[in-house]
Amino acid sequence: MPTGWQDILDLGTRDATPAAVEEAGAEQRGGMFKRLRESLSKSRQALADEISASLFDRLDDETWERLEEALILADAGAPTTAKVVERLEHEVESGAVPADGEAIQERLIEILAEVASTGRAPIDLSGEPAVLVMVGVNGTGKTTTIGKIAWHLSQEFGLSVVLAAGDTYRAAAAEQLAEWAQRAGAELIRSEAGGDPGAVAYDAIDAARARGADVVIVDTAGRLHTEGNLMEELAKVRRVIAKQMPGAPHETLISIDATTGQNGLRQAKVFSEAAEVDGVVLTKLDGTAKGGITLAIADELGIPVKLIGTGETLEDLRPFDPHDFARALLA
Amino acid sequence: MFDQLSDRLQATLSDVRNRGTLNEGDVDAAMREIRLALLEADVNFKVVKSFTANLKERCLGSDVLQSLDPGQQVVKIVNEELTELMGGAGRDLAFAPMPGPTVILMAGLQGSGKTTACAKLAKHLGDSGKDVALAACDVYRPAAVDQLVTVGGRAGATVYEKGTEADPVEIASWALDRAKEERRDVLIVDTAGRLHVDEELMAELTRIRKKVRPHDVLLVVDAMTGQDAVGVAETFSEAAEFDGVLMTKLDGDARGGAALSVKAVTGKPILFASTGEKLEAFERFHPDRMASRILGMGDVLSLIEKAEQQVDEDEAEDLQRKLESEQFTLEDFLKQMRQVRKMGPLSGLLGMIPGMGAMKQLKNADVDEGELDRVEAIILSMTPGERADPKSINGSRRKRIAAGSGTKVVQVKQLVKQFDQMKVLMKSMASGTPPSPQQIAKLQAGGAPRPKIRRR
């Protein structure tokens, strides 16, 4: 059973299963599988030559080398690739996994899904209000992701959402978020261009409390993780939020572009140091890139992917399912 | 992680000197280190494979066998081969015969930084005396036209725009007519970011290209791109028939192996590098320097060039004397720091210094522009006497300085201590003996264990 929205949200004491969600969920599930398969079909094609059950029919050095090659081409990185392949090889050699093509491939998918699941936990929306902060490098799709999350929470779960336009740097960011707020039926709190992002977050939590809203989602300006002063600003926004509401933010997500290579690991690490990142939103999976860097991020930093973006439409933001992901990579 | 490739190679090949010859096992071990370094830098796996295969043959040649320092020799060969693969001597833009205009078409994925790159290229060409115009053909992203108008204006270029209602092909054609009428030297056509698998938009790109018949088509590539750079480049090569590549976001800490992949699979050279937020953060691409960056060997030449543009030579000589004679004061330090900051964000500069990649991991050398502001404030709160002789700063003076600069006493103390440490380091550098890679490596605790990747 693939992961649905209701499986990845911790809504606390809120009534989380309105009828509409069940219906929409059932309908979407088929759609989601299809979409994920479609979006990954190109990478599948490329990998089909590399990885299929028949690869494991003959077990020699070349078999493992080709497996390594496939994982590295998916951007999983050398350390994680070596770990996965060594483990599988060891299990096969020790007889723990039968030396049968199908069985080995199934086990490979299990291992990959297990790595991708490192540190897996639901998106914590149990707070009242729950505060979610979105961070990431420029151009990775933060604002769009926020718009889509707000839409799902509001339209499918009937939650009231307040959006905080904390990207006060990029001129059109607040306008872009305003459009999303309108579509999702969420309230938008914003300031003048160049305003203090901490103050925007503060006001948004205030507004959410006054109106009894369920969730506050804070947008932040995109920044390169090598810009120390901007990373410090992010830490400050976090401190302002924690002061305003002890225990908040309850969830911090980083957006990572699927085409990103090994630098994605640095991004996740440095952002996590400044803003204690709980999960990854893997965006732009509709190209040919496989987003394998998220395997390395989960493996080395224990930060799991929670959502994936596979296109422009609202339905194209999906809960991350480790098995689907592994299978789609290798099937 | 691979900042110290040359150290690693030296370690791997350390016992070779005693034996005097490189055997196949030695070369295989060296190739493994190189392969890992290149993969870590996001060079495409297949490119790495063929690269190391060629490299191995050359390394097994006699010139290495007779070399006294095999590790260094291998590094040298790697660097030469990488530079060669990266584009050899490089290529310039192709300009139209007079009266012009020269048409440059820009294409790339979403979020790769096309619009900013357009403005930077406009400024770059404008600075060399060209009259540049920009055509705003990204009608899909809401703020793209406004953004081009703003940054294009800042770059001193004329921007031709028709809002977001018109057809991009029509806008491009109309802009070309205007550029001809107004006798511009160059027309740069900005296009919308598009996914290479989006057939409709790729077809539109082809239509724009056929309409304006550009002299140069540039593909804009994000330096952080991973293995997929090859697929992207191949598809754009078909639809846009690009002539060269413009790399962006090289101010981050990505090694930029995508540059090598794109060059290797399409044969198209990298022409320009974009290295920061400012319009000036843009330069011609130097294959040899990029090779060093991918290998983590620093980019000394670019740094020297930057320094030459910004630093007054007399002052530099004066500084050199002071460094050697140990008369370097906090006042000089302040002056120096301001000079250096004029060159751009420090993180960008540090990456260009060999060995600094490794040094950066030291806590105290971590670059934080806010920290530099604090340092300036602290020094400005000192009396001239204190700046000349930091040793005179006692407890009560520290308190006064901290209060004056809005910092803490411990921060003042730390600055003076760091200044002392730095003086020692700078003295050795000024006298022409930079700290050896071994010294730097020693400063690092252990380092990460090497992943085991099979030999191929």
A17 CA: distance to closest CA in chain B (Å):
36
In this prediction, residue A46 has a pLDDT band, given cuts at 50, 70 and 90, of very low
Distance of CA A280 to the CA centre of its chain: 3
Q: In what order do the strands lie in the sheet with A187-189?
A: A187-189, A161-164, A215-218, A130-136, A251-257, A279-283, A305-309, A317-319
- The two three-digit tokens of residue B165, written as one number: 């209602």
B389 CA: distance to closest CA in chain A (Å):
30
Q: Are A170 and A195 in contact (CB under 8 A)?
A: no
Q: Looking at the domain assignment, is residue A325 inside a domain?
A: yes
3-state secondary structure of B282: strand
A5 CA: distance to closest CA in chain B (Å):
27
Q: Looking at the domain assignment, is residue A69 inside a domain?
A: no
* A residues 212-271 lying closer than 8 A (beta carbon) to B: 224-229, 232, 257-264, 266
Pick A78's closest partner by Cβ from B249, B370, B451: B451
Domain annotation for chain B: domains and CATH numbers: 5-86 (1.20.120.140), 102-297 (3.40.50.300), 303-443 (1.10.260.30)
Q: Using CA atoms, how far apart are residues B54 and B60, in angstroms rounded to an integer? A: 10
A35 CA: distance to closest CA in chain B (Å):
15
- Between strands A317-319 and A305-309, the pairing is antiparallel
Q: Using CA atoms, how far apart are residues A201 and A308, in angstroms rounded to an integer? A: 25
DSSP secondary structure letters along B283-303: EE--HHHHHHHHTT---HHHH
Name residues whose C-beta falls within 8 Å of residue A90's C-beta, 6 or more positions apart in sequence: none
| Domain span at A208 | 5-27+119-330
Pick A226's closest partner by Cβ from B111, B222, B347: B347
pLDDT at A21 over 50: no
Task: Please state at what angle helix A19-48 crosses helix A61-73, rounded to 10 degrees.
Answer: 130
Cβ–Cβ below 8 Å for B451 and A262? no
Cβ–Cβ below 8 Å for B257 and A260? no
Task: Please state at what angle helix B24-40 crosses helix B45-59, rounded to 10 degrees.
Answer: 150
Mutate to test the interface with B, among A263, A269, A288, A297 (most CBs of B within 10 A): A263
Question: Is A193 in CB contact (< 8 Å) with chain B?
Answer: no
Cβ–Cβ below 8 Å for A293 and B226? yes
Q: How open is the CA angle B436-B438-B441, to the nearest 5 degrees?
A: 115
Cβ–Cβ below 8 Å for B253 and A266? yes
Q: Looking at the domain assignment, is residue A277 inside a domain?
A: yes
Q: Looking at the domain assignment, is residue A75 inside a domain?
A: no
Pick A261's closest partner by Cβ from B46, B226, B366: B226
Q: How many CA atoms lie within 13 A of B174 on its CB side?
A: 14
Cβ–Cβ below 8 Å for B369 and A75? no
ipTM attached to this prediction:
0.81
**In total, how many domains does chain A have?**
1
Q: Are B151 and B116 in contact (CB under 8 A)?
A: yes
Residue B175: predicted pLDDT: 96
Distance of CA B148 to the CA centre of its chain: 24
Q: Using CA atoms, how far apart are residues A151 and A212, in angstroms rounded to an integer? A: 18
- The two three-digit tokens of residue B226, written as one number: 């991973």
Q: Looking at the domain assignment, is residue A214 inside a domain?
A: yes
- The two three-digit tokens of residue A23, written as one number: 């219906």
Q: Looking at the domain assignment, is residue A164 inside a domain?
A: yes
User: Which CATH number is A21's domain given?
Assistant: 3.40.50.300
Q: Looking at the domain assignment, is residue A83 inside a domain?
A: no
Q: Are B178 and B196 in contact (CB under 8 A)?
A: no
Helix-strand-coil percent breakdown of chain B, rounded to 5? 55, 10, 35
| B295, burial (CB in 10 Å: exposed 0-12, middle 13-18, buried 19+) | buried
Pick A288's closest partner by Cβ from B197, B257, B453: B197
Query: Which residues of chain A are within 8 Å of residue B112 when distances are taken between CB atoms?
Result: 139
Name residues whose C-beta falls within 8 Å of residue B160's C-beta, 6 or more positions apart in sequence: B133, B134, B135, B136, B171, B174, B175, B178, B179
Per-residue pLDDT tens digits of chain B, which is 456 residues long: 334 566 667 677 766 656 666 678 888 888 888 888 888 889 999 999 999 998 888 887 656 555 556 666 777 788 788 888 887 555 688 888 877 899 999 999 988 889 999 999 999 999 999 999 999 999 887 678 888 998 899 999 999 999 888 999 999 999 999 999 999 999 999 999 888 888 889 999 999 999 999 999 999 999 999 999 999 999 999 889 999 999 998 888 888 889 889 998 898 888 999 987 788 889 888 877 777 777 766 554 455 555 555 555 666 677 677 766 767 788 888 877 777 776 655 655 555 554 454 444 433 344 567 777 888 889 999 998 898 888 888 889 999 999 999 888 888 888 888 787 777 766 666 555 555 554 444 333 333 344 555 544
Rg of chain B in Å (alpha carbons): 25
Round the average pLDDT of chain A to a whole number and report it. Answer: 85
Cβ–Cβ below 8 Å for B196 and A288? yes
pLDDT at A59 over 60: yes
B113 CA: distance to closest CA in chain A (Å):
8
Query: Which residues of chain A are within 8 Å of residue B453 when distances are taken between CB atoms?
Result: 68, 78, 81-82
Looking at this protein, which amino acid is placed at residue B136?
A
DSSP-assigned beta bridge partners for residue A309? A317
Q: Using CA atoms, how far apart are residues A20 and B26, in angstroms rounded to an integer? A: 66
Element (H, E) at A80: helix A78-93
Cβ–Cβ below 8 Å for B227 and A73? yes
**Residue among A120, A89, A91, A123 nearest A317 (CA):** A123
Distances (CA, A) of B96 to B128, B182, B206, B216: 16, 16, 20, 10
Q: Using CA atoms, how far apart are residues A186 and A181, in angstroms rounded to an integer? A: 5
Question: Is A16 in CB contact (< 8 Å) with chain B?
Answer: no
B170 CA: distance to closest CA in chain A (Å):
26
pLDDT at A29 over 50: no
Query: Which residues of chain B are within 8 Å of residue A69 when distances are taken between CB atoms?
Result: 45
Cβ–Cβ below 8 Å for A290 and B370? no
- The two three-digit tokens of residue A263, written as one number: 């630098």
In this prediction, residue A192 has a pLDDT band, given cuts at 50, 70 and 90, of confident
DSSP-assigned beta bridge partners for residue B225? A260
Looking at this protein, which amino acid is placed at residue B328?
F
- DSSP classification of residue A315: G
